[in-house]
Structure 1
Amino acid sequence: MTDAITLLGTKGGPAIRPGSSMPTSILVQLAGKTILVDAGLGCTAALTRAGIPLTDLDAVLITHLHSDHYLELGPLLHTAWTAGLKTPLPIHAPEGLDTYWQGFLASMAFDIDTRIADEGRPDLASLAPIHVLDDTSHLRLGDLTVTTLRNHHPPIKDSFALKLTGADKTVVLSGDTAPLPEMVDFARDADLLVHEAMLIPGVQKIVDRMGYKDDRLLKHILRSHTPAEEAARIAQQATVKALALNHLIPADDPEVTEKDWLHATEPHYSGKIHIGRDGMKIPL
């Protein structure tokens, strides 16, 4: 297995429209492990398009409990189960995910119970053990280690950046966050920093299109996310080997092109820049 990161879904936010990219999910293939980070809408089909059998996943990590990061977790696990999952697939997520999982199981009880009785499938509930992810987490998955950093994504407190290290390679995933000075040391000398990014001039257009009567959505986006320029400065200060922009805001404005993202970032970062698109595979 080639060590690589695949950006399965690169859109910031939960809404999709004709022609838009899909919400957040990232495939990490590193140190012999296959990890899904976040499970936004579309992640199940995206994994199969990337050539990953759903039964080959070694773990799922959820960075925070905004719907665009875990909406499809239940359907993913159910589909992996129908595809032959027989051994537990550990889920590492902030506190509260168990409420979602129990609700999903309850909503699908008729189907699950029928398939267990009629098809001889194993108990689905037991195949997804949930472990709480917090800022003290230090996971060991074979030769792959995962450490966390609490980022800044108000109003959600339990939101985390992840550092994955193995096979002499290090990848840092920022998660959803406003600019965070601590990210510089957390990402220091990483082979790849995948950082969320927004273009501020495009944010007002998003809010205007939604038609809300007050400015709460605008304030949320501006206080909870990172301007592309700042993501590039963090990458430069951390001396990472490459930067990938992800969770793009805006992601479905035809007037915003790759040139706009590069114009915002190239003056501030001297390394290789990848402008995320769904299905982009970045070898390590």
Structure 2
Amino acid sequence: MRITLLGTGCPQVSTNRYGPASLLRWGERQFLIDCGSGVTQRLLGAGTAGKQIDVVLLTHLHSDHIIDLFQLIISSWHQGRDRPQRIYGPVGTRQYLKGLMALWKPELDQRIAHEKRSSTSALELDITEIEPGTIIRDGDLTVIAVAVRHQPVKAAFGYVFTDGRHKVAFSGDTAFCPELIQVAKDADAIVHECFIHREMLAMPGRSPETLANVASYHTLSTEVGKVATQAHARCLILNHFVPVVFDHAALLAEVRADYAGPVLVGEDLMAFDTTSRTVSHAGGVIALPLG
């Protein structure tokens, strides 16, 4: 399995950290987890394209995780995709996408009539609304949806991929979540969100109450190391940072106080290969211990 972090940011606008999205490659299969801002550009940066994605997995329906879903659909059509997009997500996904496509229907109808492309299959959506448990079996690969703690969002999921040899977990947005830890036991890597609360200061438009409410449904930087330790994870990949600018050394010190394994402070287009246990980013490659 190969993980590529496409976007490691949050709703804050950043030219370095795009909106939350990750890519998992398993053999020839490609799975896209979330569709944050800039995902189609980051896919190209990762050496692929929307037309090649086999499955889209939405963790939940917060705007920062789905804002570029239509961009993925329309750009995949432009790229020559010849099949519907397969999209898995929580209850509400079908209604959201029905409204989204209806909103753009006049423009799409005009494009279809005028551009006369060979197929409109890419504009069709194969939607599956999920419940906790196994949602995909593809050969040796199993994808498990885990209900996580993102209240007041009623349906939010993390995802665990396993093929009997390797296991990778994606937290989605969640407070500290024992249910995710249990399913992610002995993972080769946990890709986990990180709310750096000491960097989030009250200011006009961002009161202490607002900060407390936002922190309540995220995993704090002082907690995420405990997640990896309790899951016996072989590697912790930090992702979806709030805020997008922070003190890296201070963050690592917090996490390493609770977790002795390898910690990657994720960057957009950073990749991790579970077989070779190598980390690639910006032309460089680092090998982690195989043991």
Q: Could you state the TM-score of these two structures normalised by the residue count of structure 2?
A: 0.88
Give the Cα separation in 2 of the matches to 1:229 and 1:120.
52
Once the two structures are superposed, residues 91-111 of structure 1 have per-residue CA deviations (whole angstroms, 9 ceiling, x without a partner) of 001111223322222232233
Match of 1:69 in 2: 65
Identity of aligned residues (%): 32
Once the two structures are superposed, residues 28-63 of structure 1 have per-residue CA deviations (whole angstroms, 9 ceiling, x without a partner) of 112431010000111010001100022111100000
Match of 1:242 in 2: 235
Q: Please, what is the CA RMSD of the aligned residues?
A: 1.8
Matched pairs, number = 273
Residue 264 of structure 1 is aligned with which of 254, 271, 281? 254
The answer to whether the Cα contact below 8 Å between 2:81 and 2:122 also exists between their aligned partners in 1 is no
Q: C-alpha displacement at 1:26, in angstroms?
A: 0.3
Once the two structures are superposed, residues 113-161 of structure 1 have per-residue CA deviations (whole angstroms, 9 ceiling, x without a partner) of 1332231343357632110022144212343211011110111020011
Match of 1:277 in 2: 267
Matches within 5 A, 1:15-54: 15-17=12-14, 19-54=15-50
2:141 is equivalent to residue 144 of structure 1: yes
Give the Cα separation in 1 of the matches to 2:86 and 2:196.
35
Q: Could you state the TM-score of these two structures normalised by the residue count of structure 1?
A: 0.90
2:17 is equivalent to residue 4 of structure 1: no
Question: Where does the alignment leave 5 or more consecutive residues of structure 2 unmatched?
Answer: 275-291
Letter of the 2:130 counterpart: L
Match of 1:179 in 2: 176
Letter of the 2:240 counterpart: H
Match of 1:130 in 2: 127
Letter of the 2:258 counterpart: H
Match of 2:160 in 1: 163
Q: C-alpha displacement at 1:190, in angstroms?
A: 0.5
Change (3 A) 1:257 1:272: same
2:211 is equivalent to residue 221 of structure 1: no
Q: C-alpha displacement at 1:167, in angstroms?
A: 6.3
Structure number with greater CO (CA < 8 Å, separation at least 6) is 1
Letter of the 1:61 counterpart: L
The answer to whether the Cα contact below 8 Å between 2:147 and 2:179 also exists between their aligned partners in 1 is no
Letter of the 2:253 counterpart: H
Letter of the 2:3 counterpart: I
The answer to whether the Cα contact below 8 Å between 2:149 and 2:217 also exists between their aligned partners in 1 is yes
Change (3 A) 1:213 1:15: closer
The answer to whether the Cα contact below 8 Å between 1:233 and 1:269 also exists between their aligned partners in 2 is yes
Question: Where does the alignment leave 5 or more consecutive residues of structure 1 unmatched?
Answer: none
Once the two structures are superposed, residues 13-39 of structure 1 have per-residue CA deviations (whole angstroms, 9 ceiling, x without a partner) of x2314x451110000112431010000
Q: C-alpha displacement at 1:68, in angstroms?
A: 0.8
